[in-house]
Amino acid sequence: MQRLVISVQREIGIKKNLGTMYLDEQPCNKRDCNRIVVRIAELSGAKETLLWRRLRFLGILEDHQMSRVRPVFEVFDALFETNT
């Protein structure tokens, strides 16, 4: 999945932090993440909703939006996360 993200990032002109996606309240970050997910959906045939979840789960997408309700698996991951 990360290779596909990098490929799409290069395709749309993103040159920094390849292989990761950072989503917050900034319009440019929202636009870039959306473009990446839409393009991956076009290439893979997967649903966008599934891709958003999968990218978060894999740690490729760092979602720092204040307005987003977090899925229960993210809440549990945060509770039991160990920083070793």
The pLDDT-based confidence of 79 (bands split at 50, 70, 90) is confident
In terms of Cα–Cα distance, which of 60, 64, 62, 34 is closest to 49?
34
**Per-residue pLDDT tens for 1-38?**
999 999 999 999 999 999 999 999 899 999 999 999 99
Handedness of CA 60, 28, 6, 37 (dihedral sign): positive
Separation between Cα atoms, residue 18 and residue 8, nearest integer Å: 10
CB proximity list for 54: less than 8 A, separation 6 or greater: 1
**Per-residue pLDDT tens for 38-57?**
999 999 999 999 999 999 99
The pLDDT-based confidence of 69 (bands split at 50, 70, 90) is low
Which token pair is 42? 């076009």
**pTM value?**
0.76
